Every structure is written in C-alpha cells, then in structure tokens.
Amino acid sequence: MATGPHLILFYDYVPDIVERRAPHREAHLARVGELTGDGRIVMAGAIGDPPTGAVIVFAGVGADDVEAFAEADPYVLNGLVIGHRVVPWNVVASA
C-alpha cells in the first residue's frame, strides 16, 4: 500500500446484517471489486465477529467520490448500513 493521504469509509451495520445481507452481497462485493481493480479501493472488509460494520480504504479520490460510492452501495440502498462516515487517514508507513 502506498503512503500518503487516504480516505476511510466506516460503515455501521444493522444488528442482523448476517441474516439480511445475502440478497445484496454479490452486488456489494462486485462494486467493491470494481474500485479495487482500478486502485481506488486499496482494502476493505467487515469488522467484528459477528460483523458490526465495515472499513473501506480509498486512495486517490475525494470525499465526494467516497460519498457517491456509499450512496450507490447496495448495502446502503437496502437499509443494511445504519450510519457511515468518511475520515481522512494520512498513512506514514506500510508493509
């Protein structure tokens, strides 16, 4: 992963995300995969066990781009995300 400015999109999930995500999971992962393929998303994944949310790390995009991603995400559109926030992250070291 490159150092420098990144934006992190934090999602807060509904409590029953595991039961409700199945019909939307493939479309959600395809959307993440599309932006991963072109380098705009550098890593992504659920947090917690069971999941309570997710973290998606963006590089080379603006906050408006991240918000647009969230607004069109099938998880958001279908009420699986109950809150989200975009936070700048200045990476100073990576493996």
Q: Is 94 exposed, middle or buried (0-12, 13-18, 19+ CB in 10 A)?
A: exposed
β pairing state of 41-47 and 4-13: unpaired
The DSSP call for residue 56 is E
Instruction: Please tell me the predicted confidence (pLDDT) of residue 91.
Output: 85
- For residue 4, the model assigns a pLDDT of 62
Nearest residue to 42 via CA among 91, 76, 82, 80: 91
Q: What is the pTM of this model?
A: 0.92
Task: Determine the Cα–Cα distance for residues 29 and 34; give it in Å rounded to an integer.
Answer: 9
More confident residue, 20 or 91: 20
Average the pLDDT over 6-13 and give the result: 98
Give the tens place of pLDDT for each residue, 17-75. 999 999 999 999 999 999 999 999 999 999 999 999 999 999 999 999 999 999 999 99
